[in-house]
């Protein structure tokens, strides 16, 4: 993925946690690899609470370097990377300060990328201030989630940003779409005749998509208590992964072809009947518990959280898609904090054979399954049955492993690295289009409204478990279980 595209990458929130842990490390990896970033490309950090460039580079050295490379940092590459970085000190709340940013970057080469690693309340003021000093031309703008609190607020942000930047200039980022196994899912489906004929209701029994976290709300209690898991994870990450899994083959891999097909999936989601929410949606909130031998507090006692909070930290949903390919196939979505493990995966359960000439063991669970693991270890495994060595026809579950490191010498690219390179090079396919976002909010809102009006509290679950028992009961009604319960 080499490029000659010259660029000026302006990073708002240059001292923030996201910039330190994800954005700058991703840019360093692209720099270190050689050829991915044009030599003339510049990184301009916008920050307020550092004295000068020297102090900022010390901050980067201290806070970014630990995240910059899994195999250690090459000092020569690190030094040359730091040489790309400039600092502009401005107050984001003062539009007049943006003239200083304009003056600092006006002679820098190439496309301008404005990455808003800030709270969403600053998105619109920053865009207005950029336009006021003429910086909305020859530019791309990257918006982090959450983009709004509901459909109305999301539309308000999109309307305001859309008055300043054209839709093709706006990159709404969802880093799960940049993960290597998600890209390989597209390759498996649309590049091989083996899978596509099976990717439909006749052969797929159910699909599970899980994003589980061991961490709690950490220092984000104030934010999270006004957001909750449904807004924070389901409306964006989980529904985007569902759309990728369920989409029809696009005409090509250009940005609009891919996003058109995802949009069709989101618009085909069966609306949630408010009277049926108790059957198809489970919300939970973690209580105190033990994770890896360490006692952790209850959500309601976390800093910034209201003691009587009814905010959900866990969501499990049964979702249906009303189209010919997927009619009748349940999609089970799940996400939560303080769960038993940190894992993100997609599990495609194929139907059992209609008649087994090999005995009951050929109908056993654990076979006829594709597992796409997104984190922590990115793998794709196809589970099937094979005969065990020895006498008799005894079957065991085995798997075929797509081990990337055995076939490709190149290291797997981190999600943020891929997505930032796509922004610099003007590739929109892995970013969320406005109509996709609106369709997701429109589907989620009835659940949000019903939970807001309900007097029922989220179901409790102990930290370090897999969530409320009701989430398992929901799957049991369909004759299945979550993947970890099978083991």
Determine, yes or no, domain membership for 166: no
Q: Check residue 359 and give its pLDDT.
A: 65
Looking at residue 345, its pLDDT comes to 95
What is the domain count for the chain? 2
22 is in an annotated binding site: no
Helix H or strand E segment including 379: strand 379-387
62-66, 70-74, 242-246, 478-482: lowest mean pLDDT where?
Answer: 70-74
Residue 149 within any structural domain of the chain: no
Asked if the structure places residue 209 within a domain, the reply is yes
Q: 234-263: buried (b, 16+ CB within 10 Å) or exposed (e) per residue?
A: bbbbbbbbbbbbbbeebeeeebeebbbbbb
Chosen domain end from 119, 144, 169: 144
Least Cα distance to 376 among 173, 182, 209, 212 occurs for: 212
Measured CA to CA in angstroms, residue 178 lies from 232, 334, 428 at distances of: 18, 20, 12
Q: What is the structure's pLDDT at 105?
A: 96
| 470-483 confidence digits (pLDDT tens) | 999 999 999 999 99
In this structure, is residue 162 part of a structural domain? no
Domain end (from 144, 169, 198): 144
Q: Check pLDDT > 70 for residue 30.
A: yes
| Separation CA 398–CA 352 (nearest Å) | 15
Question: What local confidence, expressed as pLDDT, does residue 41 receive?
Answer: 94
Among 144, 168, 200, identify where a domain stops: 144
pLDDT of residue 229: 97
Average pLDDT over residues 410-424: 89
To the nearest 10°, the Cα dihedral for 141, 126, 8, 117? -70
196, 137: one domain: no
Q: Which domain holds residue 210?
A: 177-413+430-486
Q: Please check if 456 is assigned to a binding site.
A: no
What does DSSP say about strands 343-350 and 369-375: parallel, antiparallel, or unpaired?
A: antiparallel
pLDDT value for 353: 80
DSSP label of 346: E
pLDDT tens profile 309-364: 999 999 999 999 999 999 999 999 999 999 999 999 999 999 988 777 666 655 55
Q: What is the pLDDT of residues 142-174, one digit of tens each?
A: 998 888 899 999 999 999 999 999 999 999 999
Check the annotation: does 292 bind a ligand.
Answer: no
Q: Are residues 239 and 368 in the same domain?
A: yes
Residues 400, 286 within the same domain: yes
175 belongs to an annotated ligand binding site? yes
Residue 43 sits in the same domain as residue 91: yes
Q: Catalytic site residue 237? A: yes
Instruction: Single out the catalytic residue among 63, 137, 237, 287.
Output: 237
418 in a structural domain: no
Among residues 174, 291, 269, 286, which one has the least CA distance to residue 228?
Answer: 286
Whether pLDDT at 411 is above 80: no
- In this structure, the answer to whether residues 183 and 124 fall within a common structural domain is no
State the pLDDT confidence band at 4, using cuts at 50, 70 and 90: low
**Residue 164 counted as domain residue:** no
Q: Are 419 and 173 in contact (CB under 8 A)?
A: yes
Residue 3 has pLDDT above 70, yes or no: no
Query: Does 245 share its domain with 370?
Result: yes
Same domain, residue pair 139 and 189: no
**Residue 2's pLDDT band (cuts 50, 70, 90):** very low
| CATH at residue 104 | 3.40.50.720
Mean pLDDT for 231-238 is 95
Residues in contact with 298: Cβ distance below 8 Å, sequence separation at least 6, in sequence order: 286, 287, 288, 463
At 402, the pLDDT band (50, 70, 90 cuts) reads confident
Q: Specify whether the CB–CB gap between 358 and 393 falls below 8 A.
A: yes
Q: Average model confidence (pLDDT) for the chain?
A: 91
452 in a known ligand binding site: no
Residues 139 and 229 reside in one and the same domain: no
**pLDDT tens-digit readout, 180-218:** 888 888 888 898 888 889 999 999 999 999 999 999 998
394: CATH: 3.30.360.10
Rg of the chain, C-alpha, whole Å: 24
Same domain, 436 and 482: yes
Highest mean pLDDT, choosing among 46-50, 93-97, 316-320, 451-455: 316-320
Give me the pLDDT at residue 364, please. 59
**Among 35-44, 367-376, 461-470, the least confident range:** 367-376
Residue pair 7/395 in contact (Cβ under 8 Å)? The answer is: no
- Position 1 pLDDT exceeds 60: no
Q: Same structural domain for residues 187 and 106?
A: no
Q: Which residues pair with 207 in a beta bridge?
A: 331, 348
User: Are 476 and 372 within one domain?
Assistant: yes
In a domain, 97, yes or no: yes
Tell me, yes or no, whether 109 and 194 share the same domain.
Answer: no
Stretch 77-94: mean pLDDT, rounded?
94
Name the percent of the chain lying above pLDDT 70: 95
Q: Record the pTM.
A: 0.93
Highest mean pLDDT among 32-36, 66-70, 89-93, 240-244: 240-244
State the Cα angle at 51 between 50 and 54, rounded to 5°. 95
In a domain, 167, yes or no: no
């Amino acid at each position: 993925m080499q490029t000659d595209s010259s660029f000026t990458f302006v990073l708002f929130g240059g001292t923030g946690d996201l910039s330190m842990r994800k954005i700058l490390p991703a840019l360093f990896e692209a720099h270190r690899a050689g050829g991915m970033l044009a030599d003339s490309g510049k990184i301009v950090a916008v920050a307020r609470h550092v004295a000068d460039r020297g102090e900022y580079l010390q901050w980067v050295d201290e806070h970014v370097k630990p995240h910059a490379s899994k195999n250690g940092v090459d000092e020569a590459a690190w030094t040359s990377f730091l040489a790309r970085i400039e600092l502009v000190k401005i107050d984001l709340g003062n539009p007049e300060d943006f003239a200083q940013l304009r003056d600092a970057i006006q002679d820098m080469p190439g496309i301008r990328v404005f990455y808003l690693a800030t709270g969403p309340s600053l998105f619109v003021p920053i865009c207005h201030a950029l336009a006021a000093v003429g910086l909305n031309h020859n530019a791309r703008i990257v918006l982090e989630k959450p983009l709004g609190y509901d459909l109305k607020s999301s539309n308000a942000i999109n309307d305001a940003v859309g008055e300043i930047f054209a839709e093709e200039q706006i990159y709404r980022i969802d880093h799960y779409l940049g993960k290597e196994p998600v890209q390989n899912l597209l390759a498996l489906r649309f590049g091989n005749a083996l899978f596509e004929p099976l990717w439909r209701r006749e052969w797929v029994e159910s699909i599970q998509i899980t994003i589980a976290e061991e961490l709690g709300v950490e220092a984000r209690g104030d934010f999270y208590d006004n957001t909750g898991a449904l807004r924070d994870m389901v409306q964006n990450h989980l529904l985007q992964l569902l759309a990728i899994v369920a989409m029809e083959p696009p005409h090509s891999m250009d940005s609009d072809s891919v996003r058109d097909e995802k949009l069709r999936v989101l618009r085909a989601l069966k609306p949630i009947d408010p009277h049926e929410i108790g059957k198809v949606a489970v919300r939970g909130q973690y209580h105190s518990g033990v994770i890896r031998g360490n006692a952790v507090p209850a959500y309601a006692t976390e800093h910034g959280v209201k003691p009587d909070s009814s905010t959900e930290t866990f969501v499990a949903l049964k979702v249906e898609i009303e189209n010919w390919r997927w009619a009748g196939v349940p999609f089970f979505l799940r996400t939560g904090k303080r769960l038993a493990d940190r894992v993100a995966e997609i599990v495609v359960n194929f139907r059992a054979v209609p008649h087994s000439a090999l005995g009951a063991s050929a109908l056993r669970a654990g076979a006829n399954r594709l597992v796409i693991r997104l984190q922590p270890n990115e793998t794709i495994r196809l589970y099937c049955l094979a005969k065990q060595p020895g006498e008799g026809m005894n079957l065991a579950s085995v798997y075929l492993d797509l081990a990337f490191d055995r076939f490709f010498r190149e290291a797997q690219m981190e999600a943020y690295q891929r997505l930032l390179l796509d922004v610099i090079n003007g590739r929109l396919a892995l970013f969320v289009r406005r109509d996709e976002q609106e369709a997701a909010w429109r589907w989620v809102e009835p659940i949000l409204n019903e939970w807001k009006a309900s007097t029922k509290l989220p179901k409790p679950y102990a930290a370090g478990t897999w969530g409320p028992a009701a989430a398992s009961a929901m799957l049991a009604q369909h004759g299945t279980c979550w993947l970890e319960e099978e083991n």
